[in-house]
């Protein structure tokens, strides 16, 4: 049994993926309309899950809505925690949840960047808590970043990894704690310069976006930056690339911007983006993103049938 605690953007997506794999899913949220939100989300993403082989045509989700936190977690083998990114709120939730967990239950937080050692404070047994950070939307994007530390029970990381990988996720494991984990730090570095280029009047919001999606972004869907630059060095590989470009990168790095998200900068970005959005609403943009993500995943062969649910779930 899977428990999904907090069913906003991320919780709904995890709930859909878990239900698609035939698992029983109990959901709990402080919003009374959470059950309806999860059901509507399932209806909207089921075609994509079927297309990717992650759900069958006839799959009916086994969602159970539970208004009591205690009841929601008490039967769960694996708890996905997806409440807002606030340390105090997460700590309060864990304190309420821990006495009702099964002895071998795992709690995975989707936290985008909080540190595990901070989240472990207040637990009687912090050994069951792990970072399992997805990328939005988790039912489509394969990456999950895992982090466990020396207070984590030894079986927790491999069990968590097995659960994620059983539903098509690609896991990476952090070797040490760092705020923002890996992927959000990389995203933050890129976004910082994307903002600077607009702020400094180098290019429009639309052109900065195109510089990624029509350029390196397309390659990054296939290989990571170190591997791609290895190819950029020709037969000599990354070493040759470094010999040729160390001087250039050193100068570029020195010249990168350090913008702040001031109200003026936010206005400039929002106004610039409006031109590119051209009146499309949130649902339309989301559908475009998800349809194209499915197409990319299929083209890359990332899709695979979800193996049977492991015994512990």
Ligand X SMILES: NC(=O)c1ccc[n+]([C@@H]2O[C@H](COP(=O)([O-])OP(=O)(O)OC[C@H]3O[C@@H](n4cnc5c(N)ncnc54)[C@H](O)[C@@H]3O)[C@@H](O)[C@H]2O)c1
| Tokens 């996905």 sit on residue | 80
Size of the site for ligand X (CB under 6 A): 23
Is 147 a binding residue for ligand X by CB under 6 A? The answer is no
Q: What are phi and psi of 260, to 5 degrees?
A: -115, 150
Q: Which residue is nearest to ligand X (CB)?
A: 8
In the set 1, 2, 5, 17, which binds ligand X (CB under 6 A)? 5
φ/ψ bin of 8: left (φ > 0), alpha (ψ from -120 to 50), beta (otherwise): beta
Is 79 a binding residue for ligand X by CB under 6 A? The answer is no
What CA–CA distance (Å, rounded) separates 284 from 282?
Answer: 5
Q: In what order do the strands lie in the sheet with 24-28?
A: 62-65, 24-28, 2-5, 78-81, 106-109, 129-134, 143-147, 170-173
End-to-end Cα separation, the chain, in angstroms: 5
The residue range among 22-30, 172-180, 196-204, 218-226 that interacts with ligand X, by the rule CB under 6 A, is 22-30
Binding map of ligand X across residues 81-120, x = CB under 6 A, - = no contact: -xxxx---x---x----------------xxx--------
Is 7 a binding residue for ligand X by CB under 6 A? The answer is yes
Tell me how far, at minimum, the Cβ of 246 lies from ligand X, in Å: 35
φ/ψ bin of 29: left (φ > 0), alpha (ψ from -120 to 50), beta (otherwise): beta
What CA–CA distance (Å, rounded) separates 78 from 2?
Answer: 5
Is 134 a binding residue for ligand X by CB under 6 A? The answer is yes
Element (H, E) at 63: strand 62-65
Tell me how far, at minimum, the Cβ of 99 lies from ligand X, in Å: 16
Tell me how far, at minimum, the Cβ of 114 lies from ligand X, in Å: 7
Element (H, E) at 81: strand 78-81
The residue range among 25-33, 245-253, 259-267, 269-277 that interacts with ligand X, by the rule CB under 6 A, is 25-33
Is 8 a binding residue for ligand X by CB under 6 A? The answer is yes
Tell me how far, at minimum, the Cβ of 238 lies from ligand X, in Å: 31
Residues that bind ligand X (CB under 6 A): 5-11, 28-31, 82-85, 89, 93, 110-112, 133-134, 136
């Amino acid at each position: 049994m899977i428990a999904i605690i907090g069913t906003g953007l991320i919780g709904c997506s995890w709930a859909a993926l878990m239900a698609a794999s035939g698992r029983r899913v109990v959901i709990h949220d402080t919003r009374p309309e959470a059950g309806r939100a999860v059901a509507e989300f399932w209806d909207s993403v089921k075609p994509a899950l079927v297309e990717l082989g992650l759900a069958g045509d006839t799959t009916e989700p086994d969602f159970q809505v539970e208004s009591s936190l205690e009841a929601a977690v008490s039967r769960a083998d694996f708890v996905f925690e997806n409440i807002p990114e606030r340390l105090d709120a997460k700590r309060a939730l864990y304190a309420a949840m821990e006495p009702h967990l099964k002895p071998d239950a795992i709690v995975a937080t989707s936290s985008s960047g909080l540190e595990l050692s901070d989240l472990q404070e207040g637990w009687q047994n912090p050994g069951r808590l792990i970072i399992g950070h997805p990328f939005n939307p988790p039912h489509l994007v394969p990456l999950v970043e895992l982090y466990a530390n020396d207070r984590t029970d030894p079986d927790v990381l491999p069990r968590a990894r097995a659960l994620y990988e059983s539903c098509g996720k690609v896991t990476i494991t952090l070797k040490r704690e760092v705020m923002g984990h890996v992927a959000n730090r990389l995203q933050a570095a890129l976004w910082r310069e994307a903002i600077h280029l607009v702020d400094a009047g180098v290019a429009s919001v639309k052109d900065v976006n195109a510089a990624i999606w029509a350029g390196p972004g397309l390659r990054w869907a296939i290989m990571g930056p170190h591997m791609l630059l290895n190819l950029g060095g020709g037969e000599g590989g990354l070493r040759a690339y470094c010999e040729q470009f160390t001087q250039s990168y050193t100068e570029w790095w020195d010249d990168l911007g350090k913008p702040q998200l001031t109200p003026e900068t936010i206005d400039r970005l929002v106004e610039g983006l409006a031109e590119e959005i051209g009146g499309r609403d949130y649902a339309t943009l989301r559908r475009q993103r998800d349809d194209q993500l499915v197409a990319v995943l299929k083209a890359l062969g990332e899709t695979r049938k979800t193996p049977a649910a492991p015994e512990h779930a």
